[in-house]
Amino acid sequence: MTVHFSCTQCGKCCHDLRLTLSAEEAAVWAGNGHTVQILSEALPVVPGAADADDPGIVRSFAAMSGEMPIRIAATLVAYHDGACPHLLPDMRCGNYAARPRICRIYPLDRLAGVRFDTQAKVCPPEAWEESHPPLIDGARIFDPEAVAVLAAHRDTARREVPLMAALCRKLGIGAAAFAGEGLAVHTPEPAALLDALHELPCGLAAPDGPASWTIVTNRAATFAMLAGAGCDAGIVARDAEYLGSFPDEPGDMSG
Ligand code: SF4
Ligand code: SF4
């Protein structure tokens, strides 16, 4: 079904969102004194799913958790609590010419293979009226400029996977949320992040990562499943360092 869209300039997408950045964009964002975080999730290794075009494989690097081979997807994001530091009082972007690619493609999905869902977007209902120009129909995106920007965003993310593996190791990041349940949030010291981003060349061969990544969850059943499979598993609660999709469970699960 064709989804129609026209931006209402409401500014909601410029509030309280984490904007996916390339390494180059992250260096600029952090260099301007704004907060850059790294989100991480651990994907199980599915036997036989070695397809180079598999979206999960494309965006992740190989690692270990305890005895289990896993894959880690790590993403640089701009974080702002409230309004983006570039948002002007009239809801226009004060960084329009140099805004990150992700700002140019919203509300399209950055990841390939995701079913477009207007309910998952922050745009108001009037942005989706059928009288507006067509935005997307299945996999077809109507605006050629958006197609080009999205392709560049995805291509850059794909090329930077080895860099992300090296960056995590350099910054001592070794915890990831169980994929599909949430995201682990890491907020490196800005100076350390900038140094690492400037130091690490793109195209670096993927390192093994830390000796063992810890897979964190706030669900007892997931923790038991991971621990039973030989993973290094940890229990966490939803907070600034764990964006869980499920509510915390009652009781002390730490034991
Ligand atoms: S850079 Fe501009 S478009 Fe992107 S979130 Fe900030 S204000 Fe909005
Ligand atoms: S939330 Fe949607 S409608 Fe509002 S400014 Fe962002 S893209 Fe436009």
**CA 95 – ligand 1 centroid, Å:** 7
pLDDT band at 255 (very low <50, low <70, confident <90, very high): very low
Rounded Cα gap, residues 231 and 236, in angstroms: 15
Nearest-5° Cα angle at 149, 117 to 37: 75
Residue nearest to atom 4 of ligand 2 (CA): 10
91-122 pLDDT, tens digit per residue, is: 999 999 999 999 999 999 988 888 999 999 99
Which sign does the torsion angle of CA 216, 30, 84, 59 carry?
A: negative
69-85 pLDDT, tens digit per residue, is: 999 999 999 998 899 99
The answer for residues whose C-beta is within 8 angstroms of residue 246's C-beta and 6 or more apart is 181, 182, 218, 219
Probe ligand 2: pick from 9, 92, 121, max atoms within 8 Å of CB? 9
The pLDDT of residue 199: 84
User: How confident is the model over 36-59, as a mean pLDDT?
Assistant: 78
The amino acid present at 208, given as its one-letter code, is: D
